[in-house]
Amino acid sequence: MQFPQKIAPTIEISVQDPEWETMGEIYDIIKLVSETTLNSAILPQSCIDRDLEVSIVLANDDLVQVLNREYRQKDKPTNVLTFATLDSEEIPPEGVLNLGDVILSYQTIERESQEKGIFPIDHIKHLTVHGVLHLLGYDHQDEEEANDMETLEIRILEQLGVQNPYTEMNF
């Protein structure tokens, strides 16, 4: 059995809301989670033997709501949005392949963390894994796709020391 070669993608992080600066080593965490995800997933053929790049935008509810309204026709904020290059008709055949953008909303993530009784940083890790997997073409439109994606998310999060986010917590 041959194991896939470890890739070292470029992870570009853009902070659009200063609240993210309160999260300590958020840059290092996002970079580690993104790299772990890319090295744990089965890559599409168009990504093999390519330098890969991912853009992570640390945003707020206002920006996410505008993007969600404009691109998904849902006029409300959400925790994560993705814009995948692999969804486009023309993928550059060579050179660095920018996989797309993962946009995280600080306020929604903070609120959901409180509601679920989980650490915000664990929720951020989960949503980053989820978003990067979307950039690679993973989806959850039907039950089989959802099960495959969730299983991979759980496996990656386990590597990162995060408990399964799909189990119900009993307090």
The percent of residues above 90 in pLDDT, for the chain, comes to 77
Task: Return the pLDDT at 138.
Answer: 94
Mean pLDDT of 90-103: 90
Give the per-residue pLDDT at 81: 98
* Cβ neighbour number for residue 169 with a 10 Å cutoff: 9
Q: What is the reported pTM?
A: 0.92
Alpha carbon distances (Å) from 62 to 69, 76, 101, 117, 169 = 11, 9, 17, 24, 30
Q: Among 2.40.30.10, 2.40.37.10, 3.40.390.30, 1.10.10.10, what is the CATH number of 10-159?
A: 3.40.390.30
pLDDT, average across residues 154-162: 96
